[in-house]
Amino acid sequence: MRATNWARNHRWQPAARAVPATEAEVVALVAQARERGHRVKAIGAGHSWSDAAVTAGTQVSLDGLRRVLAVDLATGCVRVEAGIRLHELSTALAPHGLTLQNLGSIAQQSLAGAIATATHGTGLNNGHLGTQIVGARVVTGTGAVVSLDAQDQRLDAVRVHLGALGVVTELTVAAVPAFDLEEQAETRPVAEVIAELDAIRASAEWVKLWWIPHTGQVQIYRWSRTSAPRRARGGLAGLLERNTRLSYGPILALGGLVPSLIPSLNRSVFRTSFGTWSRVEPSNRVFSMAMPPRHRELGYGIPIARTAEALAWTVEHVERESVRVDFIFELRFVRGDTAWMSPAHGRDVCQIGAYVARSPDRARFFAAFEEHMLALDGRPHWGKEFSVGHELLRARLPEFDRFDALRRQWDPAGVFDNAFTDRVLGPRASA
């Protein structure tokens, strides 16, 4: 049976599939693959737009390794099997009064898969998800098991591992005491947002911006800790938001059939779904939304100081080139960190994302957007669509060679190589 990712932009035929239920089974599988000169590639939830999990070798699903192994209430450290889904982890933490410090827009990903690509949420007090990791166990390409604690510098390689270092079997996460968030949402004209970007970004602990193309408006989300009584978003808009695949999917399909309608469809979605509201809910329910309709994404981490410039360029480009964009355009903010392959390595970034569902203008929009984000010193989001290769990435990521050296040490025979690692890290022949 062929495999596919969530967005269905990649379909592939693995030679074999395995769903190990223990670390020992992973070790045996990798050792056998190495002996036979075969390739192995782990897969989590298959939610990457990039081809990171694609393989013609053996596809190892971590679905059999998703239990919580230990919860240390004194430190908040939680040891889990690496295939656990983020929503399963949040559910397991709740009875202990614990939660994750930050999450991205959905929680369907596996933990190991999410950190592989530096999955992030927003808020300059927060790094990407891998920054919450304080320990890991990895089955390397030699079949050895490496166990890393927070003092081990190599943990900074595993925090954003690209699926290139081995099969991650266990992770320890530093959870935090559970907290509620108040979401305050408002819309502002995009020109005002560009002019006041620094102040808006600093106006709450967590700030996320959605420019709605063809409306001239930006939806601003601000999230702040609160002990106020919980209240969900009510009314029709709340219902639509909790069911975006049903409510929004048919509108995107119509735009795909008649692209000239896209600008007016965006305006009607804006009127029905966006505006001013507030709600109070547990943090994980505010961070992550209902699964959206199927769409494509390209994202870059750019230096924070270039955010306004990047948004202004995109707004102007879409207008000038008559690009029909049928999805939101997103800006989130991520604290700089020390992970070797992090797009935020050594600098705070704006994670800026161009998204398209059915518009026929996707390819030309993504190409122009990517070129501009590279001109702004951007680094790609590893889980999204990007076209740059190892020559440029080596120049952009100060610890690139260190990561590549560890990969070659842990996986000398290239058991975990695929077209993605060849493109991003360089093929073995160039060693």
Residues found near ligand FAD in the complex (CB under 6 A): 6, 41-48, 52-53, 62, 82-83, 104-106, 109-110, 112-114, 116-117, 119-120, 162-163, 167-168, 291-292, 383
Q: Closer CB to ligand FAD, residue 95 or residue 378?
A: 378
Number of other CB atoms surrounding residue 153 within 10 Å: 11
Q: In the complex, what is the shortest distance from the CB of residue 163 to ligand FAD, in angstroms, rounded to a whole number? A: 2
Q: In the complex, what is the shortest distance from the CB of residue 108 to ligand FAD, in angstroms, rounded to a whole number? A: 7
Find the DSSP H helices in 96-187: 111-116, 155-158
Q: Closer CB to ligand FAD, residue 105 or residue 314?
A: 105
Q: Closer CB to ligand FAD, residue 40 or residue 251?
A: 40
Q: In the complex, what is the shortest distance from the CB of residue 258 to ligand FAD, in angstroms, rounded to a whole number? A: 25
Q: Is 377 helix (H, G, I), strand (E, B) or coil?
A: coil
Q: In the complex, what is the shortest distance from the CB of residue 54 to ligand FAD, in angstroms, rounded to a whole number? A: 9
Question: What residue has token string 């695929």?
Answer: 418
Q: Is 340 helix (H, G, I), strand (E, B) or coil?
A: coil
Q: In the complex, what is the shortest distance from the CB of residue 123 to ligand FAD, in angstroms, rounded to a whole number? A: 12
Number of other CB atoms surrounding residue 102 within 10 Å: 24
Report residue 213: phi and psi, to 5°. Answer: -55, 145
Burial class, 152, CB count within 10 angstroms (exposed 0-12 / middle 13-18 / buried 19+): middle
Q: Closer CB to ligand FAD, residue 215 or residue 288?
A: 288
CB 276 within 8 A of CB 339: no
Q: Closer CB to ligand FAD, residue 64 or residue 263?
A: 64
Q: In the complex, what is the shortest distance from the CB of residue 354 to ligand FAD, in angstroms, rounded to a whole number? A: 14
Q: Closer CB to ligand FAD, residue 216 or residue 221?
A: 221
Q: Is the dihedral of CA 136, 4, 19, 141 positive or negative?
A: negative
Report residue 423: phi and psi, to 5°. Answer: -70, -45
CB 53 within 8 A of CB 167: no
